[in-house]
Structure 1
Amino acid sequence: MKTEERLFSVVIPAYNYAESLPRALESVLQQPGNDYEVLIVDDGSTDDTSAVIERLKALYPARFNAVSRENSGPAAVRNYGITNTTGDWLIFLDADDELMPDALAELRRFIVEHESVRLIVGGHMVADTDGSERYRGVKVLPADPEARLAGYLLKKTITPSNGATAMHRSIFQRCLYPEQFRNSEDIPVFAYALTNFESAALDKPINRIYKHADSLRHNLIYADDIGTRLVEEVFREDHIPAHLQKYKRVYAGQRCLSLFRTFYLAGQKEAALKYYREALRYDWRALFKFSYTKKAIRLLVA
């Protein structure tokens, strides 16, 4: 692959997805045009990922770059991808997902028509384990950065997804992925980008996400390890302006309610109640979110 600058850099983090990695890579290599580069980062996989990469190199010589590293987590892999690619726009495509056939063409057109935009939030297809599929679109993003931050963190009306989101390289000059987190590492970066850079929605399916049961977002160990430390990372003073720090406690309360639900569904009573109490400490109005309060009462009387 040539080292000249490209419009797009597609980074594919790969950890134990040997079976689906060829699908992800081929979905990129089949995109029309020659203005993109592809980098696969094998994050210390213990399955056949390295052998699969070698076979793919033989099938597609000089079409992509690949590197193997000691396992360090998705944040470190993405930061490596940022440092070791040259494209103006970065797309982080999970190894178990795929780009839609016209993804880069849609993004090219959008970039030309919106020269000042630096974050493009696209839609995506969701493929469920039962074989069904649905489109998850995106709404027009508010012009006001405060409204975007609140829409993303609190109202959940803005839902950027890796693989469906294109991020201009300038975003990462002052903000990288927090490598101390093994999941939820994208939340601080999306919050920073939506607050500090012009952002827009592209209501077209950019990628297809395959749902599966072993997603890290369901890993209780990582969820409890991160806990509310995520709130501090999101609201770093060098990332979120002072006049928007007012949302910190409300977001902390919501974060605790989310963790409460996670542990409640997992049957972890003590952990669930711990986070419910923390939610009330951050924002007493959580008491009036009755779906959560009813669950907490059930745990208390069980």
Structure 2
Amino acid sequence: MVLLTVFTPTYNRAHTLPEAYCSLKAQTSKNFLWLIVDDGSTDRTAALVSAWMQAEKAFAIRYLYRPNGGMHAAHNTAYAHIETELNLCLDSDDRLAKDAVEQIEKRWVQIKSKNYAGLIGLDDDGNGKLIGTGFPPDLTETTLSGYYAGGGKGDKKLVYRTDI
């Protein structure tokens, strides 16, 4: 059973989606589904995704089109269709480290019984430079707001339990 849905809200981002797709193709674990929520694009997003859906054999791709309603509406649409235990938003201009899904799986197995809401991961700029600050070495658990209140900065990747 697939553990993770990686969802991407998109609007006229056919020019950036290929990088997100390539980072998903490069994953060391394919235990995910890629859900693309197209928020009313008028560019070639639909054709691009259709070609990937026909060609991709390593992981499932699901495409949903909705009339333009903005990023939050696209997120809500994604959440209404996610059926996996965990989910992660990958923006159309983002990439995941090649072992991101594998690391999520490994860490989730370790902490699942603690009934956490999810995981917080670090982001880099694509060249290995951390965006914002890392985690203190002695930090074992936190909330996102607690992390920022404690001086944390920058974008983070948030992996949520879908049921909450």
TM-score range relative to shorter protein:
0.7 to 0.9
Of 36, 43, 46, which aligns to 1:50? 46
State the partner residue of 1:214: none
How far has the Cα of 1:107 moved from its partner? 1.0
More strand by share: 2
Distance apart, 1:90 and its partner CA? 0.7
Q: Provide the residue aligned with 2:74 in structure 1.
A: 77
Shift of 1:158: 6.0
Is contact 2:82-2:162 (8 Å) kept?
A: no
Q: Which amino acid aligns with 2:120?
A: V
Letter in 1 for 2:162: R
CA contact (8 A) 1:14 1:43 kept: yes
Which of 124, 129, 154 pairs up with 1:134?
Answer: 129
Distance 1:150 1:56 in 2: 39
Cα separation, 1, equivalents of 2:22 and 2:56: 9
Instruction: Report how far residue 59 of structure 1 moved.
Output: 2.4
Q: Does the 8 Å CA contact 2:6/2:32 hold for their aligned counterparts? A: yes
Kindly state the Cα deviation for residue 157 of structure 1 after the two structures are TM-superposed. Answer: 2.0
Q: Cα 1:141–1:71, aligned 2, differ >3 Å: closer, same or farther?
A: farther
Native 8 Å contact 1:8 1:36 kept in 2: yes
Aligned residue type for 1:13: P
Correspondence for 2:124: 125
**Does residue 1 of structure 2 align to residue 8 of structure 1?**
no
Instruction: State the alpha-carbon separation in 2 of the partners of residues 31 and 87 from structure 1.
Output: 18
**Residue correspondences, number:** 157
- DSSP 3-state at the match of 2:84: coil
Residue 162 of structure 2 corresponds to 169
Structure with the larger helix share: 1
Task: Pick closer, same or farther for the CA change 1:170–1:160 going to 2, 3 Å.
Answer: farther
Q: Which residue of 1 aligns with 2:63?
A: 66
CA distance in 2 between counterparts of 1:149 and 1:21 reads 30
* Aligned partners of 1:22 and 1:56 also within 8 Å: no
1:27 and 2:23 equivalent? Answer: yes
**Per-residue deviation, 1:54:** 2.2
The Cα of 1:84 is off from its aligned counterpart by 0.6
Distance in 2 between the 1:142 and 1:57 partners? 38
Deviation at 1:126, TM superposition (A): 1.3
* Length-normalised TM-score, structure 1: 0.47
Which of 93, 98, 106 pairs up with 2:95?
A: 98
* Pairwise CA RMSD: 2.4
Unpaired segments ≥5 residues, structure 1: 172-302
Q: How does 1:250-269 map to 2 (within 5 A)?
A: none
- Long gaps (5+) in structure 2: none
C-alpha separation in 2, matches of 1:36 and 1:142? 25
In 2, Cα distance between equivalents of 1:24 and 1:36: 14
TM-score in terms of structure 2 length: 0.81
Q: State the SS of the aligned residue for 1:165.
A: strand
Query: Equivalent residues in 2 for 1:198-213 (5 A)?
Result: none
Which structure is richer in relative contact order (CA contacts within 8 A, separation 6 or more)?
Answer: 2
Cα drift, residue 123 of structure 1: 0.8
* Counterpart amino acid of residue 170 in structure 1: D
Deviations 1:159-202 (A, max 9, x none): 552xx22111133xxxxxxxxxxxxxxxxxxxxxxxxxxxxxxx
